[in-house]
Chain A
Amino acid sequence: MSWLLHRVDDRLIHGQVVVAWGQRLRPVRIWVADDASAADEWERELLATVAPGIEVHVVPVAEAAAAYAGEAAAPGGAFLLVRDLGTALAVVEAGAAIPSFTLGGLHYAPGRVKINEYIYLGPEDRRAARALIARGVRLEVQDVPATRPQALPTLDPATAAP
């Protein structure tokens, strides 16, 4: 076993992750790579308590990237969660050899355009998506296991690598 899921979701650990993906893939560890959450003790504790029976590590991007290869060799499966595409790119640029990310929830904010019901992207998101794809990272859109994954560039041609 090793990495089971790399997910981009602005809600980080929540119902879809724990209930839908967690019941299906049974991770033993969840890594949240997020500088802001890692710096906030209350947020770290909140995220640790909402995934019962799963070991939760809320760490800065650099620490997640440093732990990435080791986790791949550890017993049991793991999830990696980031809140946006910029963070996904930062983890990859920091040295984590991540083959793909699943875009599970990037909700509306001013300046973002609708890609589907649960993915909205702004210029920064699209720039990060193109950079990830240019590095050979696959980007798929899928909220829960029961829905069909779709390649991001198919849904949003503006994210296709130049």
Chain B
Amino acid sequence: MSRVPALLIMHADLAAALLRAAEKLYGPVDDVDVLSNEGLSRADLEQAIEARVAAWPAGGLVLTDMWGGSCYQSGASVARGHGEVVVVTGLNLPTLLDYLHNRDQTAVSELADRLLRKGQDSIRVQRGLPA
């Protein structure tokens, strides 16, 4: 099974920072592209995503920071024309690491479902206890 490529598209410097944080835990990462929405109109954002997605022979994942934002909308618009491109939103560090650990042995659609579960499971609450 071939590796599932990914594009991280997020606000400000988050995509690059998140990838850098992941590399601290995982090691050097190939085949992940990063993009910021800063200064880009929706049309330009879609073009930038399209250019990257067009280079994926068998689809891949567009990973965005927030459902409903311009990164998500542009990703969704581009995915509309590419059946094997799947958008996953609300990405965090545990989810990105899970992608890295599973991208070589999981198909695009299954990997997206896996990240959804991982993301939902990754936010937890630990309350303090009285001394």
- Chain A residues with a Cβ under 8 A of chain B: 10-15, 18-19, 42-43, 46, 49-52, 105-109, 117-118
Contacts and interface: CB of A to CB of B under 8 A. Distances in A.
B107 interface: no
Contact of B76 (A12, A46, A107): A46
A42 B70 contact: no
Contact of A118 (B39, B66, B72, B76): B39
A14 B40 contact: no
Interface of B: 11, 39-44, 66-70, 72-73, 76-77, 80
B68 A18 contact: yes
Contacts of A42: 80
A15 B80 contact: no
A15 B41 contact: no
Given A46-B76, A46-B77, A118-B39, A109 B70 contact: no
Contacts of B68: 13-15, 18, 49-52
Contact of B69 (A10, A14, A117): A14
Nearest to A107: B41
B66 A107 contact: no
A109 B42 contact: no
